[in-house]
Amino acid sequence: MAYNEFLGERISIVLKKRGVVFQEKKMMGGLAMMVDEKMCVGVVKENLMVRLDPDLYEDALTRRGCKPMDFTGKSMKGFVFVEPEGVDQEEDLDYWIELALDFNPRAKSSKKKK
């Protein structure tokens, strides 16, 4: 198992309950939930991946289980990982998904490959 499929299912349930239209896309060895063709939330290994407002990044890092998203040796401002203890409770998972959904309309789409 490359990523926590149970966490992926929990995310899908929350998004469906909220009536969010999304697509699941396997990437980065994990699963990304695309909202309006933009990466919104996902799962990488055991961690929740959240795309959030860069202005909220520093505050987010103070929450339990939250750490910078770092693939290349450099953290990506506006993206965080939340370790399992930070999403054990449903209200915690809801919090992170809400942050991602709030930012999604302002997030930039990645360039389409030709």
> Which pLDDT score, from 0 to 100, does residue 89 have?
96
Mean pLDDT over each residue of the chain, to the nearest integer: 92
- How far apart (Å, rounded) are the C-alpha atoms in residues 38 and 61? 22
> Which pLDDT score, from 0 to 100, does residue 70 have?
83
Of 96, 16, 81, 92, give the one whose Cα is nearest residue 46. Answer: 81
In this structure, which amino acid lies at residue 17?
Answer: K
pLDDT at 114 over 60: no
pLDDT digits (tens, 9 = 90+) for 79-110: 999 999 999 999 999 999 999 999 999 998 87
Residue 1's pLDDT band (boundaries 50, 70, 90)?
low
CA 38 to mean position of chain CA atoms: 11
For the chain, which residues make up each domain, given as ranges?
5-105
> Which pLDDT score, from 0 to 100, does residue 2 have?
84
5-105 folds as: Aspartate Aminotransferase, domain 1 (3.90.1150)
> Which pLDDT score, from 0 to 100, does residue 109 have?
82
Spatial CB neighbours of 38, under 8 Å, sequence gap ≥ 6: 51, 104, 107, 108, 109, 110
Residue 42's pLDDT band (boundaries 50, 70, 90)?
very high
- How far apart (Å, rounded) are the C-alpha atoms in residues 45 and 43? 6
> Which pLDDT score, from 0 to 100, does residue 112 have?
60
In this structure, which amino acid lies at residue 88?
Answer: D
